[in-house]
Amino acid sequence: MDDTFDAVLIGAGHNALACAVHLSARGWKVAVFESAPAPGGAVRTGDYTLPGFRHDWAAMNLSLFAGSAFFKAHGAALMARGLELVPVSHPFASAFPDGRWLGVSTDIAATQARIAGFSPTDSATWARLAAAFPSDAAHIFGLLGAPMKKRALARILWRLWRERGVAGAQDLGRFLLQSPRAWLEETFESPHLRATLGAWGMHLDYAPDVAGGALFPYLEGMAGQAFGMVLARGGAGAVTTAMVAEIESRGGRVECGAPVVRILHGGGVANGVELADGRRITAGKAVIAGVAPGALVRLTAGTGAARFDAAMTGFQHAPGTMMIHLAMDALPPWAAGPDLHRFAYVHLAPSLDQMARTYAQAKAGLLPDEPVIVVGQPTVADPSRAPAGQHVLWVQVRMVPGTILGDAAGQIAARDWTQAADPMADRALDILEHYAPGARGHILGRRVVSPAELEADNPNLVGGDQICGSHHLSQHFLYRPARGHTDGSTPIRNLHLTGAAVWPGAGTGAGSGYLLARKLAGN
């Protein structure tokens, strides 16, 4: 063996880095090996269009990171390494084909006034939900932040029962099983408000009619109202830079351009990794794989446990995402008005029916005729990302198929992303142009990143799936990534899985990495 560490981590995504930060802070000697030229996975920033225009490669919204237990424990150290968070008081809005818009701001009076323009009844409902959110959030975030074990669930349910009784516990259970459409239609009467919130479900593979998805439109709406959004100054990659610096300051190693080709194990115990250049690295306490579940089976050549290996190889991924990075000389001239320039996100998803159709088309392998568009305007809150007076747009196209079988609009003949990427990007920009006439005239530079390129850059994003696995109920809570393994454990002793495929799942909250590190370090 060439080197020996307490823990060897495969992949430098934010969960693996968070795990390494905590373990190194507890005295472990750690090494992180990343196949890509730079760390961060989906959480990194670069000049992808023109010099001086800083684009977030995939993740932009860092609200979950800023509110995480990991950041509470290590935020001060990361801030000392140069991380600076930027609060956003106008987190998200939706624009509609009828020229209207609806947005959520931390000023509840402003949000209520906008909602009242669509439905006074919904405005009153919103105020009621916002008032109840602190109490509801304690139970929901307690669930989402806890180890997904029967004992932890029992404690949470006991607290809920004591506070709200049997009926309250049953109501929460029903809510957790509802689809976005079911909850939105029984709660609000305005189709515009339903669409504004329903768009958030599409971020986590929850189309309007998928059971279990009501939680996410609710949480994003209420959290946006209560806390706004958080960005990192200079780009989301600042989080990665700070975590790498913290690891290295404690004697750890983060090595990029160093693919791991094999996890070494014998007698049912993992003891190291082999790199593509032939080096063998010893792990005295833990090998931690920040990889997609299917890759874990390949790296181990099978764990020897048939049920576990079948669960890993059968792990279901969500449809893909296309990214379009734009350097702009001005923000989009929104037809709905310049007030939209204040918002970090503008969703172009006009109805629940359109979202459901888009999702069904992508799942069927078709390029959607009207994909959901998320327009990120980070320079509204962080002008450091572009030259003075100019802007970057972070455009997500949700959903698109990883493997193209056809085109729902019958216009794009290509079945390979190398040929389909540009015409599909043009379709997305046509939608932007409809909502912001003249937007194309402000584009200085453009970079299209297809689902195939996202996966080539980061193999965890299978088919361009940015959340590393569907969050449908059969693959969530006690089943993420498989029954009995929500803590990242595997049948091979000292081998652990981390990342978005492990409970509590996707997002920038670093939940799986931090929970695993606490389990391994004992605190």
Say if residues 274 and 3 touch (Cβ distance below 8 Å): no
The type of residue at 469 is G
Distance of alpha carbon 448 from the chain centroid: 19
Q: What is the separation of C-alpha 414 from the centre of its chain, rounded to a whole number of angstroms?
A: 29
pLDDT classification of 451: cutoffs 50, 70, 90: very high
Measure the CA angle with vertex 110, ends 108 and 115; round to 5°: 90
* Per-residue pLDDT band at 1 (split at 50, 70, 90): very low
Question: Which pLDDT belongs to residue 144?
Answer: 73
- Rounded distance between C-alpha atoms, residue 466 and residue 428, angstroms: 18
Local confidence band at 158 (pLDDT 50, 70, 90 cut-offs): low
Nearest CA to 447 among 466, 462, 430, 429?
429
pLDDT digits (tens, 9 = 90+) for 396-412: 999 999 999 999 999 99
**pTM (predicted TM-score):** 0.95
351-410 pLDDT per residue, tens: 999 999 999 999 999 999 999 999 999 999 999 999 999 999 999 999 999 999 999 999
Q: What is the pLDDT of residues 49-104, one digit of tens each?
A: 999 999 999 999 999 999 999 999 999 999 999 999 999 999 999 999 999 999 99
* Backbone angles phi and psi of 56, in degrees to 5: -80, 125
Q: Which pLDDT does position 160 carry in this prediction?
A: 64
Give the Cα separation of 125 and 21 in Å (integer). 42
Burial letters for 424-458: b for 16+ Cβ neighbours within 10 Å, e otherwise?
Answer: bbebbbebbeebbeebeebbbbbbbbbbbbbbebb
7 SS3 class: strand
State the average pLDDT for the chain.
95
Handedness of CA 114, 119, 120, 122 (dihedral sign): negative
Tokens of 1: 């063996």
Residue 151: predicted pLDDT: 64
**Position of tokens 């196949």?**
35
CATH superfamily of 3-43+62-84+235-315+469-521: FAD/NAD(P)-binding domain (3.50.50.60)
DSSP character at residue 338: G
Q: CB atoms < 10 A from the CB of 175, how many? A: 16
Within 8 A by CB and 6+ apart from 27, the residues are none
Establish how many alpha carbons lie within 13 A of residue 260's alpha carbon, considering only the half-sphere containing its beta carbon: 29
Question: Distance (Å, rounded) from C-alpha 19 to C-alpha 7?
Answer: 10
The answer to whether 56 and 324 are in contact (CB under 8 A) is no
Q: Are strands 280-289 and 495-497 parallel, antiparallel or unpaired?
A: parallel
> Which DSSP category does 84 fall into?
-
User: pLDDT for 483-498, tens place per residue?
Assistant: 999 999 999 999 999 9
Task: State the Cα–Cα distance between residues 466 and 57, nearest whole angstrom.
Answer: 11
pLDDT digits (tens, 9 = 90+) for 420-447: 999 999 999 999 999 999 999 999 999 9
- Across 230-244, b (16+ Cβ under 10 Å) vs e yields bbbebbbbbbbbbbb
Partners of 56 in the β-ladder: 45
Take residue 156 and report the two structure tokens written for it.
Answer: 């949470």
